[in-house]
Chains A and B, each alone.
Chain A
Amino acid sequence: QVQLVQSGAEVKKPGASVKVSCKAFGYTFTGYYIHWVRQAPGQGLEWMGRINPNSGGTNYAQKFQGRVTMTSDASVSTAYMELTTVTSDDTAIYYCARTRTGTPILNWGQGTLVTVSS
């Protein structure tokens, strides 16, 4: 069955970078977009962007432009999200999720808690 398995929790100091991975199982990795969504403690869902693993093309939310990089490696069916220059405001659970063009998110990763603290 379809599974998205994310890397483990991270603790980072302000100003550092964090990279989260998302390994796909049970489907053709290049056939679906991978999205990244975050949720700060007690807050709402925030869409960060998406990558097309087939072409490598990306779309980023304006808020994260210049600070986020989404990549993928089809040889290991894995997508990555790197966020640079983190602050305490970036403390959140980061989810990967998959969609096809014109479809909503039906499959989510388990989430990766990123904590930014000095």
Chain B
Amino acid sequence: DIQMTQSPSSLSASIGDRVTITCRASQGISKYLVWYQQKPGKVPKVLIYAASTLQSGVPSRFSGSGSGTDFTLTISSLQPEDVATYYCQTYNSDHMHTFGGGTTVEIK
């Protein structure tokens, strides 16, 4: 199965900081990469799909980049409501739809 490695596993940042989360695939997945945000007790919500396309209704401070094996999720200016766990996942139909291990974002 394809492996998805996320880093860091957790981070603490101040309001207004720029936050970057990375996700590495063990083999090329083109741009079939989605970023989810999950808050406690809730199902995951799509932020970014196709590696860099912002889902409708998601604030523009969220952005994604990358293709092949290396991907990045950036929050340009961290807000209190962004406290959550973030997951990457590949959805290339040729591969298993593996999730990354998750990154928990907290406010410093």
The chain A residue with its CB closest to the CB of B40 is A42
Contacts of B32 in A (CB 8 A): 102
Q: Are B96 and A45 in contact (CB under 8 A)?
A: no
CB-contacts of A79-118 with B (<8 A): 95, 99, 101-106, 108, 110-111
Q: In the complex, A111→B38 CA distance in Å?
A: 14
Q: Determine whether A32 belongs to the interface, using a CB cutoff of 8 Å to chain B.
A: no
Binding site for A on B (CB under 8 A): 1, 32, 34, 36, 38, 43-44, 46, 49, 85, 87, 89, 91-93, 96-102
- Do A47 and B93 have beta carbons less than 8 Å apart? no
The DSSP consensus for interface residues of chain B is loop
Interface-central residue, B34, B43, B96, by most chain A CB under 10 Å: B43
Q: Closest A residue to B97 by CB, please name it.
A: A47
Chain B hits for A104, CB < 8 A:
34, 46, 49, 89, 91
Closest to A65 in B: B1
Complex partner residue of B43 from A62, A101, A103, A108, CB under 8 angstroms: A108
CB atoms of A47 and B98 under 8 A apart? yes
Among A47, A62, A63, max chain B CB count under 10 A is at A47
Contact residue among A37, A62, A106 (Cβ-Cβ distance under 8 Å from B46): A106
Contacts of A111 in B (CB 8 A): 43
| Most chain B C-beta atoms within 10 Å of own C-beta, residue among A59, A103, A105, A111 | A105
In the complex, the answer to whether B49 meets A44 with C-beta atoms within 8 Å is no
Contact A103 B99 (CB under 8 A): no
With the chains together, A110 CA to B41 CA distance in Å? 10
> Which residues of A lie under 8 Å from residue B100 when comparing CB positions?
44
Q: When the two chains form their complex, are residues A105 and B96 in contact, meaning their CB atoms are under 8 A apart?
A: no
- The answer to whether the Cβ of A61 comes within 8 Å of any Cβ in the partner chain is yes
B44 lies within 8 A of A45 (CB)? yes
User: If the complex has contacts A61-B1, A95-B43, are A102 and B91 also in contact, measured as CB distance less than 8 A?
Assistant: yes
Q: Please measure, in the bound complex, the distance between the C-alpha atom of A46 and the C-alpha atom of B36, giving whole angstroms.
A: 13
Chain A residues closer than 8 Å to B98, beta-carbon distance:
47, 61
Q: Which residues does chain A contribute within 8 Å of B38, judged by CB atoms?
A: 45
Task: Tell which of A47, A62, A63, A101 touches B99, judged by Cβ atoms closer than 8 Å.
Answer: A47
